[in-house]
Amino acid sequence: MAHELKIFSGSAHPQLADDIAKYLHVRRSDVTVTQFPDGETFVKINENVRGRDVFIVQPTCPPTNQNLMELLIMVDAARRSSAERITAVIPFFGYARQDRKDQPRVPITSKLVANLLVAAGVNRVLTMDLHAGQIQGFFDIPVDHLYAKPVLIRYFRSKGLDDNLVVVSPDVGGMKMAHSYARALKAPLAIVAKNRVSATEVEALDLIGQVDGCNVLLVDDITETAGTLKTAAALLKKNGAKRIFAGVSHAVLNEQGHRRIAESEIEEVITTDSTPFGAGEKVTVVSIADLLGEGIRRIHHDESVTSLFDIP
């Protein structure tokens, strides 16, 4: 695409936007994002975007509603400033777990968010490791869905733990993702059956598979309170696992989550910088800036992003 590329960031994760801009050898474009005393968000784009290819980097992580509203207002500002194309770069897509009606009289909020983004003026979405893959179908615009797997596996392989390894899904819902990692690492797969007691408490019930005497990689897409990871790790240790690691795409860790990881049988949690909440005791953050930056470059030049899924 011949139009000049512009990278903007909201207040959710400006460091990630800066790292993406560095990969692309451009500077982060200038925008003012502030709040009025009553909590309303004000946005002003401080440079010309008429006819430009605009990318707005904004994970909708906590405070979720504020960051989402900020993104919508930035998109509207860019649209009203005659940007040629607007791509919302959402490394972590908030509300992704509200993707279906699992109870009577509840919303499908991820579909609502998709509608809001399109209504605001988004032409394309670039995101990573959606909790539910069908969310791509909630949009009537192109969605480029990247995966953290190549980045996380590259780091894990650097630790030399490929031998005698078992990949474990901490619940039945994550089995497809764990199977993908197991195939890439040429390792067997095991599954922990769990029961969710409350939003912050889970109990591990049983283990399907063998981990006795093996190193273990727990794989999950999101962790907040780390209850699932901690209980799964305790069950794995009880069943004879040697060293336990966890690979998590999105760490939205609160104080309780960091404490649980520190207290758990997990030796190291490997996560990405899709949100600014990962860093802490026993947590290693690997950057997805190059992955997203390359995705942005290819979108800008109308190239295929398929090879970004390949494991090096």
Residues 123 and 157 in one domain: no
Average predicted confidence (pLDDT) for the chain: 93
pLDDT score of 245: 97
pLDDT score of 262: 96
Among 53-62, 267-276, 292-301, 303-312, which stretch is predicted with the lowest mean pLDDT?
303-312
Residues 269 and 143 in one domain: no
> What is the arithmetic mean of pLDDT over 75-91?
98
pLDDT score of 19: 98
Which residue in 151, 141, 147, 142 sits closest to 270, CA to CA? 151
Q: Which domain holds residue 77?
A: 5-147+289-309
Residues 300 and 203 in one domain: no
57-89 CB burial, b ≥16 within 10 A, e <16: bbbbbbebebbbbbbbbbbbbbbeeebbbbbbb
Dist. CA 192–CA 237, nearest whole Å: 12
How many domains is the chain built from? 2
Residues 242 and 297 in one domain: no
Residue 105 gets the label, from left (phi > 0), alpha (psi -120 to 50) or beta, of: left
pLDDT digits (tens, 9 = 90+) for 240-259: 999 999 999 999 999 999 99
Dist. CA 202–CA 248, nearest whole Å: 18
Residues 122 and 188 in one domain: no
pLDDT digits (tens, 9 = 90+) for 109-123: 999 999 999 999 999
Full-prediction pTM beyond 0.85? yes
Higher pLDDT residue, 157 or 202?
157
| C-alpha dihedral (125, 129, 132, 137), degrees to nearest 10 | 30
Residues 123 and 175 in one domain: no
44 classed as catalytic: no
Dist. CA 271–CA 18, nearest whole Å: 19
pLDDT value at 1 more than 50: no
Residues 270 and 294 in one domain: no
pLDDT digits (tens, 9 = 90+) for 20-63: 999 999 999 999 999 999 999 999 999 999 999 999 999 999 99
> What is the arithmetic mean of pLDDT over 226-252?
94
Catalytic-role residue among 176, 194, 242, 282 = 194
Percent of the chain with pLDDT over 90: 85
3-state secondary structure of 259: helix
Residues 105 and 158 in one domain: no
E strand or H helix at 90, and its extent? strand 85-90
pLDDT value at 87 more than 50: yes
pLDDT score of 202: 62
Looking only at the bridges linking them, the beta strands covering 202-208 and 189-196 are antiparallel
Report which DSSP code applies to 105.
T
Looking only at the bridges linking them, the beta strands covering 31-35 and 41-45 are antiparallel
Do residues 265 and 244 touch, judged by C-beta distance below 8 A? yes
Residues 221 and 96 in one domain: no
Give me the CATH number covering residue 178.
3.40.50.2020
pLDDT score of 200: 61
- Band (pLDDT 50/70/90 cuts) for residue 2 is low
- Band (pLDDT 50/70/90 cuts) for residue 195 is low
pLDDT digits (tens, 9 = 90+) for 130-167: 998 889 999 999 999 999 999 999 999 988 877 789 99
Residues 201 and 265 in one domain: yes
Residues 115 and 206 in one domain: no
Give the side-chain half-sphere CA count within 13 A for 295: 27
pLDDT score of 120: 98
* 79 CB-near residues (< 8 Å, 6+ apart): 86, 120, 121
Residues 255 and 305 in one domain: no
pLDDT value at 204 more than 80: no
Give the distance, in angstroms, between the CA of residue 301 and the centroid of all CA atoms in the same chain: 24
pLDDT digits (tens, 9 = 90+) for 255-291: 999 999 999 999 999 999 999 999 999 999 999 999 9
Which residue in 263, 260, 257, 179 sits closest to 217, CA to CA? 179
- Band (pLDDT 50/70/90 cuts) for residue 194 is low
